[in-house]
Amino acid sequence: MENRSKEIESMRRRWDEHAERYDEWYKTFHGAVEHYVDWELLKGYLPKSKDAKILDAAGGTGRITLPLVKMGYSVTLCDISLGMLNVARRKLRRAGVLDNVEVCECDVCKLRFADESFDFVLCWDGMAEAAKELIRVTKKGGKISMFLINKYGSAIRKFHEDPSSALALVRSKSGYVYDEKEKYKAVSVEEARELFEKEGVKVIEIYAVCGMLDILSIPEKIQESRSWDEKFFKQVTEILLKLSKEPSVKGLSKHLVVYGKKM
């Protein structure tokens, strides 16, 4: 319990410090490509009715909340970092939609919402431990979308600097990876499926997302650039959307995004 509080405190501090810079990365070619791919995949799963209640858990600066609210959905945005939430509030206020969003500070592993409160729950943070709690607050028949750390993609990236850790990760059933000192559980596509199915969620699809520009050997200079050729952007996003669904490629990405339906 004490360890958990320390982990939360350290996570909160890190995101508070990063808050004002978080959205900047999405203005680069790399960030814009990943945002486009995330959103294209998400669009296919959004509820038909605009009366649907959506939870954007660990939603940070509202990268996804803002477009959802503009589309007319009723959204609750929660996060542990007040710094990230303050940036979100500022953006929502500027867009004139702050009053349409419930913004609250809360831990995704200990949500303050009643069972079956939301028609759609997304948590794009990589915290596998939160799955059960996120499923609890999803209505029966509702959908859930969760980012998880990809075990094989992480091992591939780690191998050149630390072969022993990379091997330990692929050998173990419950391997962890460190991202900026924070510990995340890493899962394979099959383990991601198991995680949801044992909690009564039918997995609709698991996509491979994030970190694929390195696999395509896109030079760092282009990845970091803030202006780009639109034709190239379209080509890159088209191939990434195809690869995200391709079973033979799914092990390579940094993250997996699971879409499921609570039965």
Ligand X SMILES: C[S@@+](CC[C@H](N)C(=O)[O-])C[C@H]1O[C@@H](n2cnc3c(N)ncnc32)[C@H](O)[C@@H]1O
Residues near ligand X (CB under 6 A) are: 8, 11, 15, 58-60, 63-64, 79-81, 84, 107-109, 124-125
Q: Least distance to ligand X from the beta carbon of 72, Å?
A: 20
> Token pair for residue 101?
């969003």
Nearer residue to ligand X within complex by CB, 16 or 168: 16
The answer to whether 140 touches 148, Cβ cutoff 8 Å, is no
Nearer residue to ligand X within complex by CB, 25 or 159: 25
Q: Least distance to ligand X from the beta carbon of 247, Å?
A: 25
Separation between Cα atoms, residue 125 and residue 113, nearest integer Å: 19
Q: Least distance to ligand X from the beta carbon of 218, Å?
A: 21
Chain residue at closest Cβ approach to ligand X: 60
> Which residues have C-beta within 8 Å of that of residue 46, sequence separation ≥ 6?
52, 68, 71, 73, 120
Measured CA angle at 3 (ends 110, 169), to 5 deg: 90
The DSSP 8-state label assigned to residue 126 in this structure reads -
Nearer residue to ligand X within complex by CB, 58 or 92: 58
Residue type, 87: V
Q: Least distance to ligand X from the beta carbon of 108, Å?
A: 4
Nearer residue to ligand X within complex by CB, 4 or 50: 4
Nearer residue to ligand X within complex by CB, 11 or 236: 11
Q: Least distance to ligand X from the beta carbon of 164, Å?
A: 28
Separation between Cα atoms, residue 68 and residue 56, nearest integer Å: 10
What residues does 261 pair with on adjacent strands?
Answer: 143, 202
Q: Least distance to ligand X from the beta carbon of 161, Å?
A: 22
Separation between Cα atoms, residue 256 and residue 5, nearest integer Å: 27
Separation between Cα atoms, residue 252 and residue 208, nearest integer Å: 8
Nearer residue to ligand X within complex by CB, 15 or 152: 15
